[in-house]
Amino acid sequence: MDQSTALHLLVVPAVAVTVAAVSRRRGWPAPLILVLAGLALSPFVPGYALDPEIVLLVLLPPLLYSAAIDSSYLGLKSVRRPVLLLSVGLVLFSTLVIGWVTHLLLPDLPMAAAFVLGAVVAPPDAVAAVAVARRLGLPRRVITILVGESLFNDATALTAYRVAVAAVMGEGITWLGALGRFAYAAAGGAVVGLVLAWLLSKALRALRDALVENTVLLLTPFGAYLAAELAHASGVVSVVVVGLYVGHRLPRSGFGTRLMSGTVWKIMDFFLESIVFALIGLQMWPIVDAIDWSHPLEPVGMALAVFAAAVLARAVWVVPSLYLPRLLSRSVRGREAGPPSWRNAAVISWAGMRGVVSLAAAFAIPEDFPERPTLLFLTFTVVIGTLLVQGLSFPALIRWLRVSNEQEAFADDLAEAAAQQAAASAALARLEELLEEGVPDVHREVVEQLRLRTERRALTAWERLGGGTGPGGEETPATVYRRLRREMLAAEREVLVRFRDERRIDDEVLRRAMIEIDFEEATLGRA
């Protein structure tokens, strides 16, 4: 490895994390700011071309896996119809529309080659959209649909991309063969994912060690992706299936595994997403430099036409796919609560930002492919255009449409309070059973403390509905307890740090004591 490469490996992540940190502190959309920063820095690192293998083998699996763990299997199951229509139907529809427009713009380009571009830019990357949606409080159903689409659409697009590339390179593939390859990739990926999920569950049951379990979970997305790809199936589907299984089963794991897992994947997401969006902007110079600018209106016109095709194809597909099945099928109307809001449909239609997977697929196009530099340029402009045009206007659209989850958030708090009440009742009932069984050496004050602590947790959930206030706006007892206890813990921390500074205790002793205080503060919940 030469010094220049080593410098890039260090400087690019450092700059990306710094920009992301500043964006988070300022309340700016970090993905979009990172793209702009990459664009500004691209002329200064002109040789920094994207390596598709790094994206597909190193960056994509953990990001997909983390998103799958963080999503809800039951939630995705409830929206499987719109997710399927978007992740499969919309991707194939966009591939055809964009391919047809590209062929009209470049008549000498074979139709199969034009479909390669269509498959490359067809799948939206919902990372930016979901980040904004959660921050602005979109309804859960909309977020679940966007997440589900982003989890599965890469598998459809990459399979269509490989089929189209094979056709251009003269491998002689038929439409029936293409459908067979697509079916095998999806089914094979699901089977590999299910087998690995079953093996993983057996392994985690045997380990019972939070550190080792999280190490295994950290390696899982890479193993799932490689195993499926070696079987010529979809690595994306395999990773998503394993991630959904792990996320669904994680509440049954030990508390140490959950605490550590949440921290590990938050750090991983922040780091990888920062790098991914910075890399998108950094591709500007090598891509633009490869285009013939003797007639600048031609590449600019083509870029605008393909960008418009990508945006309009999504809008044309989303609205009918959300409403027509309900009009045509009585069973669909019976399963679903009601027709989707036109405001939600508008938000989903505009949440079509493309991402790094499209760029990675474009860079993976063979060097001798017809019009490769032009296809790279068109891909880059669609990715940048959707991120900046749709991404920057997405918050304004949400506010203008007045789409929010306020009622949903209140219902969640109400459901949580009822669940905490039921859980507390079960805990108190179990305590009474243990006392009747004659648990030795249980003092009266210990039992009373156990009762009070259990009841306080249930009351906290109910008080949250009132913002932690009682009648007349006064603080409730639980709120006072949390406020005072936090002040006490802060005083304890100050003493411990002072003892360390005075060399009266070692750093290791300080860390051990601080962990106990941190865990107690974590149990206090929100103020």
At residue 527, the pLDDT reads 44
At residue 62, the pLDDT reads 93
Distance of alpha carbon 442 from alpha carbon 78, whole angstroms = 47
Distance of alpha carbon 390 from alpha carbon 128, whole angstroms = 10
Q: Is residue 157 a contact partner of residue 149, using CB atoms and an 8 Å limit?
A: no
Distance of alpha carbon 193 from alpha carbon 246, whole angstroms = 11
Dump pLDDT digits (tens) for 365-422: 998 899 999 999 999 999 999 999 998 898 889 889 988 777 777 777 777 777 777 8
The single-letter DSSP state of residue 469 is: B
At residue 200, the pLDDT reads 93
Q: Tokens representing 219?
A: 């390696």
At residue 222, the pLDDT reads 96
Beta strand residue intervals within 326-432, DSSP E? none
Ranges of residues in the chain with a pLDDT under 50 are 527
Q: Is residue 157 a contact partner of residue 420, using CB atoms and an 8 Å limit?
A: no
Residues in the chain: 527
DSSP-H helix ranges across 465-506: 477-501
Q: Is residue 49 a contact partner of residue 8, using CB atoms and an 8 Å limit?
A: no
Distance of alpha carbon 219 from alpha carbon 265, whole angstroms = 12
Distance of alpha carbon 231 from alpha carbon 243, whole angstroms = 19
Distance of alpha carbon 148 from alpha carbon 77, whole angstroms = 10
Q: Is residue 156 a contact partner of residue 357, using CB atoms and an 8 Å limit?
A: no
CATH number at 3-404 = 1.20.1530.20
Helix 140-168 to helix 111-121 angle (10° resolution) is 150
